[in-house]
Amino acid sequence: MRNTSPIGTPVTRRTALAAFLGASGLIGIATLGGCSNDAQQADDTAASTEATDAQTTDAAAAPTNSADALAEMAWWQKTIVYEAYPKSFLDTEGQGTGTLAGITAKLDYLAELGVGAIWLTPVYKSPQKDNGYDISDYYDIDPRFGTMADMEELIEQAATRNIRIVMDLVMNHTSDENEWFIESSSSKDNPKADWYIWQDAKEDGSAPTNWRGIFGGSAWTWNETRKQYYLHTFAEFQPDLNWECEEMRKELYRMAKFWLEKGLGGFRIDAVTYIKKPAFTDGKSDAEDGLSSIHAATANTPGILDFLNEFKAEVMEGSDAFAVGEANGVSASELSSWVGENGVFDMIFEFSHILVPQGGNETWYEPDDWTLTQLKSAFTASQEATATNGWYPIYLENHDQARSVSQFLPDCTDTVAGAKMLGTVLLTLRGTPFMYEAEELGYTNVAWSSIDDYDDVSSHNQYKMALEAGKTEEEALEAVHKHSRDNARTPMQWDTSKNAGFTTGKPWLPVHDDYEECNAETLGADPDSALSYYRALAQERNALPVLVAGDYHELMAESEEVYAFERVCGNDRAVILTNWTGNEATYDAALVDGLSFAFGTHGTSEAGKLQPYEGAIFA
């Protein structure tokens, strides 16, 4: 028998999809927090009298209401994290790219959104060939963003507003302009010779393996000085570090502690899946190019946890800072080692819901038909995986994804309503919401007329792959329009002035052409805007602790129109209903019996009915 909610609606579906998501590493968990003490735990331990007694004791000690549960949670479980893309946030120098001083200048704007932490994509010194994910000096700020004094000022000023700064930590690779790599590539016997991954060519002179890099093409590049190939999971200018080298690892740990000592609130750890490498052998060809996915070959290679436990012990222990890993490929049996009290991270970003509207394809030109029930199943599988032993970082957008309104609601004609509805989901699921820059403004994708207009390296590689697969230029460009990372990287639109108030110079990427209507100043003065809604919903989230601390149970699981779920903690209960279509939708009004309308996209809501793209909270 399936578990049911208090009103008898089926809510738990431990289906084959959930098993797949766990085995594929598309779910992740973190430290237990909140109200959770589900009956699922009892199912797992009922065979043991001792375990059942322990469960009874735990239940007796569990919080009986949301406020008590909230008091037991870590600061990062209760707050909202805002991912800022500094290059596109605000330019205070007229140079066309954003600065750290620009973020400091807008701290009050972020505080009004209920933000308690700001995650910065990389601001270290970098050639900026991959927008900062190619680091040339971990101990310095790139002059494009400012100085170390600017960084320290941002940390200090944010703290006065109860906001912590979180940095992106890139430990899988560096820039090929990093002094470490320059020295490593100079000979086979220099002090840093083993800091990167070097291999001899095959007998025929070809690359050591047939692995394809994430951005396309061979994952190996020849170095004439050493007469060897070096490995790069991503672009050829991003050589992979060799985590088997203890001296290199220790230097990374020293670097991370250097930043924590400046008062950081945590790290988002980039591409951590790939730091441990397996034996260098060919994989089965999986595309027309004859190459094999490096992700399939290297993701979560056995032994990776030894490295990450060392990182936790050397860097994170004794600090209240959090670590959230960008990691997929974690099997269900490994979750307790990756997160929680004995895990290596506090949270893990997973990709199951993001992959649904992309059809699960690595190649953008492949068809991506999907259904709402598939998306809901992905959300629920992740929520269930974190229900009794974890915490979930919720996100719909980030710097690598298309805009959520365009990605999840491709046929939406009322993008403001769509943005509000998606915001309702983001801020009411169980976990820590990660809001991305300008998501609160309801941004949509750009559609530039030429591939030459795009800066994103992956967009150019995917465009080339589409042409090589026989697609027309129009079809290849359409795929870029849908999936380009530049969709998320256009400059922040602050007001109606030239370049949307982002810069007095020439912006590094064109400003979206809707900036005169869609900007923070205009939308902030409009009580019906997406921005005003996000601000109010953040306040409502604080006013209803069950939205932070309550357990999650899905409702209406089979509906292709409505995503509905409840949050429950003791006697506290809230029901969230969202209509993902442009038509009116109905539901059984008994779902909200005993509850009153608390908040929503339309100002009020009739029990049993949802207007197009409506989101409603009953509590």
Instruction: Tell me what pLDDT residue 55 has.
Output: 39
Q: What is the average pLDDT across 540-555?
A: 97
CA 560 to chain centre: 25
Cα-Cα-Cα-Cα dihedral sign, residues 539, 540, 544, 546: negative
In tens, the pLDDT along 315-366 reads: 999 999 999 999 876 655 566 778 877 889 999 898 889 989 988 777 899 8
Tell me whether residue 224 is one of the annotated catalytic residues: no
Length of the chain: 619
Return the H-helix or E-strand segment holding 182. Answer: helix 179-184
What is the DSSP secondary structure assignment for residue 348, as one 8-state letter? E
CA distances 94 to 86, 90, 164, 453, 509, Å, are: 14, 10, 27, 21, 14
CA distances 328 to 25, 331, 400, 405, Å, are: 4, 9, 15, 24
DSSP three-state, residue 567: strand
CA atoms within 13 A on the CB side of 121: 23
Q: Which residues, 6 or more positions from 431, have their beta carbon under 8 angstroms from its beta carbon?
A: 347, 383, 386, 391, 392, 393, 394
Q: What is the average pLDDT across 73-102?
A: 98
> Residue 296 pLDDT > 70, yes or no?
yes
Could you say which of 91, 326, 346, 566 is catalytic?
326
Q: What is the pTM of this model?
A: 0.90
Q: What is the average pLDDT across 571-581?
A: 97
Q: What is the average pLDDT across 104-118?
A: 98
Mean pLDDT, all residues of the chain? 90
Q: Higher pLDDT residue, 386 or 508?
A: 508
> Residue 7 pLDDT > 80, yes or no?
no
Q: Which of 307-316, 327-336, 383-392, 444-453 has the lowest mean pLDDT?
A: 327-336
Q: Where in the chain are the domains?
A: 71-174+245-278+298-538
Instruction: Tell me what pLDDT residue 339 has.
Output: 81
Q: Quick one: 71-174+245-278+298-538 is in which CATH superfamily?
A: Glycosidases (3.20.20.80)
> Residue 12 pLDDT > 90, yes or no?
no
Could you say which of 130, 142, 176, 270 is catalytic?
270
Radius of gyration, CA atoms only, the chain: 24
Tell me whether residue 437 is one of the annotated catalytic residues: no
Strand partners, 212: 218, 293
N-terminal to C-terminal alpha carbon distance within the chain: 28
Nearest CA to 486 out of 509, 469, 514, 467 is that of 509
Instruction: Tell me what pLDDT residue 62 has.
Output: 63
Angle at 102 between CA 96 and CA 106, to 5 degrees: 135
CA distances 132 to 83, 86, 155, Å, are: 15, 10, 20
Instruction: Tell me what pLDDT residue 351 has.
Output: 85
In tens, the pLDDT along 205-214 reads: 999 999 999 9
> Residue 6 pLDDT > 70, yes or no?
no
Strands (E), 429-512: 432-436
Instruction: Tell me what pLDDT residue 36 has.
Output: 66
